[in-house]
Amino acid sequence: MVRAGDWKLQVSKRPDQAWLFNLASDPAERVNLAAREPQRVAQLRKMIEDQNAQMPKPLWPGLLEGAIRIDVPLNAAWKKDQEYVYWTN
């Protein structure tokens, strides 16, 4: 995730997904603008990649990976087409 001014970009590798929000006009992050703003997504994604390039490599791999739904309580039932990311522990 990166924030630049009023813009916030969150990305996931699995599934390959990007969420772009303008926090000034959408502080609750309800409207994903990634499809409408591909140049801004590319610019902010590069900021993430540049930061990651400066980080040391992990000393060991993650052992577990599980699907985590976005903005849904853990005890809520799964629904078709819910957004999720894979989280590594």
**What is the CATH classification number for the domain harbouring 35?**
3.30.1120
- Boundaries of domain holding 84: 2-88
Q: What is the pTM of this model?
A: 0.78
Give CA–CA dist 66/74, Å, rounded: 12
Tens digits of per-residue pLDDT, 42-88? 999 999 999 999 999 888 888 888 888 888 888 889 888 888 888 88
Give the total number of structural domains in the chain.
1
Look at residue 89 and tell me whether its pLDDT is greater than 80. Answer: no
Give CA–CA dist 48/18, Å, rounded: 12
Element (H, E) at 48: helix 38-54
Distance (Å) of CA 49 to CA 1, 37, 38, 46, 89: 10, 18, 16, 5, 21
Task: Provide the pLDDT confidence category of residue 3 given band limits of 50, 70 and 90.
Answer: very high
